[in-house]
Structure 1
Amino acid sequence: MAKNYIKDLHFVVFFIFLSFFSENLTAQCAGTDSQKVICDIENPVYQYVNLFDLLGGSPVPGGTWIGSSQQGLNASTGILNAQLIRGGGTYRYTYTAPATSGCTGSKAVVTLIIGAYVGVGSEATICNEDDTFNLFTAFDSKVMGPHTNGTWTTDTGQPATASIKVGEFKTKTTLHFIYTVPAVLACSPNEKSTNVEVTILIAPKAGKPEDLTLCGTTDLAGYTNLDLNDQLTDEDKGGTWTGLGLTSATDHNINLQEVFDTNGPGEYSYTYRVLAVPDNFICEDKEATVVITLEKRLDFTGATITVDKDICESEIATARYTARITQGSDNIPNGEYNVSFTVSGPSSGSQTITGNFVNGVLSFPISSSYFRQVGKFTITVTGIVSTSSKKSCTDIFSPFATDLNVYPLPSLNGAVLTADPVCQNDTALIHVNASQLSDGIYSITYNLYGDNLSMAETAILTVAGNKGTFEIPGNLNARNGLTVINIISITNITNPSPQCSNSANVIGNLTVNPLPNVTAVKITVNDDCLNEQFTGRISGLGNLTNVTFTYTISGSNSSTIQTVSLVVTNGNASFPIPLALLQNSGSTTISGVSLTNNVTGCQNTLQNVSDNFLVNPIPVPPTVNPLSFCKEEEATVANLVPNGNQYKWYNSPTATTALASTVLLQSGDYFVRETSAAGCTSEAAMVVVAINDSPAPVLNSDGQNFCGLKNPTIADLSNNTNVPSTVVWYDAPNNGNLLSATTPLIEQGRYYGFNFPGTDCFSSEYIEVTVTLTDCDNVPNDFFVPDGFSPNGDGVNDSFVIKDIEFLYPNYTLEIFNRYGNGMYKGDKNKPAWDGMNYEKSGIAGGVAPNGVYFYVLHFNKDNKPPKQGRLYLNR
């Protein structure tokens, strides 16, 4: 009991150690925490700090970083630009190991203590026109900038901000500031300070300009000596002027009349420039520009307007109108203008639009909404003003106008159309009675429907007293029957441009005495087999209902003229060709001779109405021989000979449905027909089919029982059947492996036997045999039981086993005990070998059995034979 307690204690200690060691291993994935103090952060080496290299232990690479400040940190590589951190202090960066096996959730922290850095103060010179100035830009830019967590004061100790206002200074001024950052105790107990000096220079003033606008045509008499200085306020004196008409650098007087006369109207710019003082290299020179606009009075005398275009009433909905204004004797400058105009007539209105004069012409669209009625309209231009004009001049302008006409459409509403009957191909005279049509000459467009069909034909209609006539040419009356005449449009060609057209819908009928129309007649005969019924099919008979058709046969077959009477349905008719005319196989031609309309008696000769067709021969019956198959082959119709796509198999000589290729064959008669490529089928040929089989083997009585001591084989199993010389054995009934005669039999092995007589068929049935190897007679009273074994893994005598006992005593059991009577092992034929391990739950704990003497008890469990006891020695 004490031994067991000690073992359990050792196990608990080992488990605690293993658990602690495993947790420690997981923590090591991210390494261990570390700390680094950086007091000289301005050192360039701290632009590149590898946080991973600062971790303790053995961290696993590939993780991610996150810090209390992300400034300058690459979260994936752990590379930190520490100089981007904008204040001294303590910063912590946490590394999370990658989620590999055993590393989930592992973290370690690198702590950086960064000393305060105040930067290198410097001097700055700026211009007051900048309005504000950031003191941080005054530091020496060649070194690292200061930490931004400091404070600013003036040199007198007053608080200040980094952004100072400089625009309010009017004289040159120098300011002094002190910048202080708080201490970081790990580097220094004292805060750090530096000085910054800012000198503010004053920018020059060019003044505020006042622009001037004048009419150059009428207003320049008082501006022949304009002083440009009068156009400025609040400027520094001593500057210089530049611009058209000035004669020197000191000149500031201009003759505007001369400028206008020489250069014409326009905007003229005059620039005043003031230089900064000589010692001021910071502020820029300043300029102010006075713009003088000189305009010209425009003269629109003689200007004209045209509008495209006069239209017909039918165009009202879709018409678009463009007006074109052309200048008069005075040239109008190119540019953008506002044009005002009015429209008067059946409807009226006014509008102002914007357009461009280009080379004396201004074009603009006029809305079609003004011209929605038939009548005469007047478009009057009431004003033209340049959009860029400042209206300093009064233009010369008088309204001018043009006319636009919307003409009415000719009308055939209520008109009546009649026609005199004609024969085919004759000219027809058509009468039109039109009460709403004025006298004149018109062009009409008409369509023909019915037996004659023609579209968009034209004719001249002469009207007098509301009555008119026109002709339809004979070539349009080529077909007999009723032709519908439909006038679809009319154009008044007596009117000036445009000659307005109108749609019409006047309908009348024309009767044309018929001739059979044979232009579309065709005859077709399909290829077929000899002795089959051939049919002639005629199409293109139009509206004929009863006809007589004559034809001849030529080629491989020939005939005299044949005549048939046919009833026509929907322009088609058919008739059987007598079998007596088609006695030979080969290419044959049918040719139409004439077609007669049985209703009117009119006949027409047929030209090129023929068709070639084949009279295909019948194949001879296939040559066949009797066929036999083994049953186990599971032969189907696909295995019959002859085979191929041209052969079809049947189960009777009169059957019409072919057998599927997958149908299993049975002994009996089958019939085959051959079909040629042309689809002709031969008579049936009969094939006798025999399905053969061999009887399955029969197992002798108790033929499955053997004694394993004799090492029986497949050959012994074969000898226990009624056909030992022809039986074959497999390890499975389907897709099994063939077993050789020397294959040893195994206990409870299953074997499948088929009869294979050689030249005969393999049997389709089989026998299944389950072998037993325990049928042993004359069991010896004693047999060899080993007295020891050596389970040391050398492959020799590694287990304790009693050879062949399973054949003699198949229900035996074996027990093994140690010298204390504790069970070590219990076996039978399914567990025959002891390998020197303790498998019993009672007695000592499981594990390796030590060297020594052990005892066995063998229970035979057969024939009331008493158990056998003995000893054995285990030596590793």
Structure 2
Amino acid sequence: MVKKYTNFLQFVSFLIAFLVWTPKIQAQCAGTDAQKIICDIENPVNQSISLFALLGGTPTPGGTWTDTNNLRGLNPATGMLNAQLISSGGTYQYTYTVTAAGCTVNKATVTLIIGAYSGIGTEATICNDRGEYNLFTVFNSAVMGPHSNGTWRDSAGQIVRSTFTVPKVQVKTTYNFTYTVPPVLECETAPLTSAVEVTVVRKPEAGTPSNKDLCGTTDLGPYTNFDLHDLLSGEDMGGRWSGPGITLPGDHSVNLQQLFNASGPGEYMYTYTVFAVPNQNICQNDVETVIITLEKRLDFTGAKLEVDSDICEDKITTASYTAKITQGPQMIPNGEYEVQYNITGPTVASATVKANFTNGVLVFPLNSNYFRQIGTFSVAVTSIIATAGKKLCTNIIGNLSDDLVISPLPRLDGAVLTTTPVCQNQPATVQISNASLLTNGNYRITYNLTGDNVVTGRTVNIAVSGGNANFVIPASLNVKSGSSAITITSITDITNPTPQCSNVANVKGNQGINPLPDGSTVVVQVENFCFGEPVLVNVSGLGNLTDVTLSYTLSGDNASVLQMVALAVANGKATFVIPQELLLNTGASVIIARNLKNNTTLCDVNLNNVLDTFIINTIPNAPLSVSPQEFCKVERAVIANLTPRGAQYKWYSSATSTTPLASTYVLKSEQLYLRETSAANCTSAPTLVSVVVNDTPAPTLNSGGENFCGLKNPTIADLSKATNVSSTVAWYDAENNGNLLASTTVLKDKVTYYGFDLSTVTDCISDNYLGVTVSLFDCNPEEYTFFIPDGFSPNGDNVNDTFRIPDIEFLYPDYTLEIFNRYGNVMFKGNKNKPNWDGKNSEAAGFGDGIAPNGVYFYVVNFNKDNRRPQQGRLYLNR
């Protein structure tokens, strides 16, 4: 802006400066000092000021200029100055130096005073992604930028930096700032201020992307309508997606299952574009890209692993091994795969190799160092994954394993042969033990027999487990009793078809053969028994045997399959009882001994014509079912009261009891058992008889049921109604042998009545009783008319001979009565136990014979009930 000398003070200041700085006129080469005040620094003319032209005197051209303040804009050779390049108002000095000879004064100074300039503020619109924005760029730079020594303030008046941190506004927002520079007094008296306006608009946001990795084979069920926006966060809606499966401008969902089915595994790229406001070059479109990776799961179900090959231990040092995987029903793509496998067995190891599937077959080597000892090595593939890809799918491996067997040479070194003596013509089992050098499995051995029985080159297969095995010498080779020597000469491992490893052997043992027992002297005898009793069998003729097993059968009225019983023999004899379940019928039966075994040697012989016949007698039938027998408890019934009766009948307390009950046994409710004994002294089975001894509970009295009002003349019927069994209770005047009272019997005070209940179901009277002592004083005075007589005539004619208050003892059982003569002397004191005054003085002496004369007397009645006040009155005695 253009500054003018607008007041007298400015003009005077200039004039003084001019007079002070104007040099004395003298000859000098650099000219004289000069001063210039520029208050309109924004004027374009100030872009090119000739300092040389400002010098006074006659300066000599060709000198050089220096800037005392070291600022921009000065050409030192020409003295031309662009004053608009000076960044703030103030005083600046420039020195002109001439180096020519003969100059009296070779330096002169030009002083410039530059007024303050706050610039021309404008408006600016920026995008909120600018980060920081220089507020000085908002000034109109076509004229001149403001001086830099000013201060920025926001709309609240707070000092701020010139670098504005652009906020991430969500809506268009305008910010106002002011820029103030300090005044230069030669040009202005107050600070200069300019205003700028910055409007921030929101940038389109495509969001923060994330990628999606899925196994296309297993993971896509929830992704048939997958919203691509799920892979962005903070994005503006309304943008446009592009990529596989996007057909319409507004689509943002894709069917990953359908995409995988149609296009298979791969990386699918989707781009989301949020467009800026059209025709506005403030913010740019925002674009983000997401990648969805879909991989295919490989199914090795049905694939086969073959490890080559099994060997005998003598080939360990030279053997090499490979494994081959052959694909199953699912085709496996050709390519490189990472195969992980485990080895378990004598060696435990894990390894990973890379190999190529080619036409459904993958072959990889197995390190022979893993197989350096005897045993079964299980090789199991645990994972097969293509080396290319992100390994998003867990491939189905299934049971992809095979065994590699390194078989030991079979050795019987240290083995022991153990035999158990057998009987003639029976097979013998030979136990092989301590064959610790043999692994579990099947073997073929060759053996010889020498001694009492001879055979050579006999072969047999054995199964070894834990160093133990056995084989059988056929019965046909044990025809002679005595002893045979056994020698195993060779052994071959036949557990696996290949290889079969063989070795020589030299293991020896002995086999004993026991003779058969002699059964020609055996006899069996059985006595006759009652049905159900233990049937004892006597066996004799057993010689010097001590422990035998006899096999037998039954025939006749009782028949059985073959039975076996172990017998302890003493002096050639033994006994046993035939099991009861074999003797279900009476009559004649035959026991037939079939076989005899010596339990010591386990040798047995069949018996011929060793038998006996015995009789099982019939026992009486159990008595017919007897109906429950009922009694009343008060009857005190005993066993003798039960039916049926007779010497053949006995009563028992349980089905297993053998002691009958005494005839005087007092019955109670219980289960008894009746048996009948026959003439043959056989006792029948028990018959269950129920004995029921009925009793009826004694009546119970209702609360307060013993209380009555004597004025109502209560009866036995009223007493019955006060119990829980009003219709069936019977009352007696004594607890034992009392008299039955009629229902109309009038109750008496303080008399005890005894109640028994009669059951209408059992017709039994209760064994216990209810005793009730009756009270007749439970009367309500309000229900009855109560009066006190006003006189009486004690003249002995039996009419009104005593003074008595009618019914008072029922209405007021605790009453008291006092009668006074006209002198206040007490003549009579009464209560319910002494209710009648006979006209005599019964309380005080000194009144002659005590006979009260005719006249008026006074009474006081104390009711002593319900807080009723005493009553006073008079009565007339007339004899």
TM-score by length of 1: 0.32
Larger Rg: 2
